[in-house]
């Protein structure tokens, strides 16, 4: 096991979970900043060349976990590992954001869905070789079809 340490913190317009958009057809267009701690700033070298980043972060305000839950966009329970629930055995979140620009230790991004002050655990460039037509959306596609 390892003990995670934040490499930075999110600056977000969202102060509570109720403010984060949820539901069918929701797009995450909020702009925010990732403030990287000085010790980790050298790790940002060459990041400007990527359009999108994977942000791994901690659900630092989540308490406990549930192995089943009913997401706000469906009326059926699903296993926690088939959802984006914050109530996970390891409270780790993952978000893909668009990198707008870098200013020193600050990365300005679009697509923030984290709360203000959320600890960032890691950043990786988004690279996907999976064609869109090969991606499956599991229960989410079924729930969307039921709502139509």
| Nearest CA-CA partner of 114 in 129, 94, 138, 98 | 94
Does the reported pTM lie above 0.85?
yes
Q: What is the pLDDT of residue 146?
A: 83
* 11-40 residue pLDDT tens: 999 999 889 988 767 888 999 999 999 999
How many contiguous H segments (helices) and E segments (strands) does the chain have?
A: 1, 8
Q: Which residues of the chain have pLDDT under 50?
A: none
């Amino acid at each position: 096991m390892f003990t995670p340490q934040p490499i930075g913190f999110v600056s977000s317009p969202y102060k509570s979970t109720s403010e984060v958009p949820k539901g069918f057809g929701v797009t995450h267009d909020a702009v925010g900043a990732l403030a990287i701690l000085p010790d980790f700033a050298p790790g940002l070298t060459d990041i400007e060349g990527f359009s999108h980043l994977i942000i791994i972060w901690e659900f630092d305000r989540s308490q406990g976990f549930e192995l089943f839950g009913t997401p706000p966009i469906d009326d059926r329970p699903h296993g926690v590992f088939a959802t984006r629930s914050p109530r996970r055995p390891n409270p780790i979140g993952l978000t893909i954001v668009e990198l707008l620009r870098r200013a020193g230790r600050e990365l300005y991004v679009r697509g923030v869905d984290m709360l203000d002050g959320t600890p960032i655990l890691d950043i990786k460039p988004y690279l996907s070789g999976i064609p869109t037509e090969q991606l499956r959306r599991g229960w989410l596609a079924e729930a969307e079809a039921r709502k139509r």
